[in-house]
Structure 1
Amino acid sequence: MTPDDTMTSESAMTPDVRARILAAASRLIAEGGGEAATTRAVAAAAGVQPPTIYRFFGDKQGLLAAVAEHDLTTYVAGKEKHAPHPDPVEDLRQGWDMHVDFCLSNPGLFAILTDYSETRGTSTAATWGKQVLERRIRRIARSGRLTTSEEQALAAVEAAGSGTILALLGQPEGQRNTGISAFIRDMVIAAITKAPDGRHDEERRPQAAASQLRASLDDVTVLTAGERHLLGELLERIASSAS
């Protein structure tokens, strides 16, 4: 069979061929990172001709981006299936641990996602994952335990989480100080929340109240859209204020 005949037969089963290529590339990335997923290696592992990969994904970078998108989508979908913890703060804590564990277990995928976001923008799956985090923080705000704005809390968790992952990936596998993840996690959570019994620095009480009200604005029906928008901006300023 000639390469042209092979491509013709593959065209009749496009979804299956594409899925085989993604699965093969994902295995190679897991074993040796993005560099291991060469066009020739992926083609051999998937049982296709190299031109087929270019036909589906354009180039190697397109293939890597597609693999990252597929694997991250699978991960986020699984994360979404978990019932949220009754305690919204504990739910955020568990979400942090799950995300760090996933990235440490998939360093090649994490590297591709980081490179993809810097060169081609944020992936759809990454945006979905961010929305999952936003909902976790919104639950804390609605409970009255968030002591800053949702936007500021989101930025803090994302920055601290990414820094933690990069730091741990920079350590030799098997010698990683994984306890540092829990330490940083708890520091961040302590900085943006208060205890269930309401104990917290009294200076942050207005911020917590503003954050809680802002998180519930969608449920307020006595205001016009313009009034709701203005109030939301004012509450955001209070929630984000240093004092």
Structure 2
Amino acid sequence: MDATPHPGLATAETAPAPARHRAGGGWLVGLLLPLGLACGWELAVRAGLAQGRLVPPPSRILDTLRALAVTGELWTHVLASLTRVAAGFAFGAVAGIALGAVTGTLPLARRLLDPSLQALRAIPSIAWVPLFILWFGIFEASKITLIAVGVFFPVYLGVAGAIASVDRKLVEVGRVFRLSRPALARRILLPAVLPATLVALRTGLGLGFMFVAAAELLGASEGLGYLLLDGQQLGKPEQIVAAIIAFAAVGKLCDAALVALTRPLVRWQDTVREAL
């Protein structure tokens, strides 16, 4: 019998490498667009085609970042923002997972709680600030609470939606095999909702950085949001852009860390992305 593989079929030897084997070069490709835009703007300013006063060239921004890093001011602001985001993310994620699981599995809890939570989700983040300041003062508690609120809603929606969308046939198969409730949750429900939950956590983390900027703009002496406000008050656009870049870099690193930490939980998945 001919053992030559069909040209249209992939074998273990001819199949493409998993996506994670190519991840090392993926981030380099992702840098092409921002580096290209930065170099183009730098050349435009140096050639006199643009003024560069309100949007400073990358060289001035890098000089500002370097000066802030040398004095240690940059690391102080980064640490302050990271600490607030970490605390707010922890509280918001735990509450979102817990309430999402309750409303997703218990119809009575869903009818009782979900309408109120959906109404609260529509409230703008800035509207909570006066109330939180009145309750918790202008110190860290109000900032962390505001971040936790921002993290809570996407995590809650992700978990509740993932549980509600579990295929009924999977649950019926578990009942056919007479799995107990804990075994049904561990072997069927948890694997089914875990991928969507991890996506919701990433979304919540991104909103956590958005909310920490709002919290620090409204009253803080440290943090990247404070660095933004200080640059605006002193008329330093290069400091504002430097703070924005720091936000982007720190947020991306935190997102990558979350993905790396949670990847073992979904290693069993065989998705189309692994073959691309």
State the TM bucket, normalised to the shorter chain: under 0.3
* TM-score after normalising by structure 1: 0.24
Instruction: Determine which structure has more spread, i.e. the larger CA radius of gyration.
Output: 2
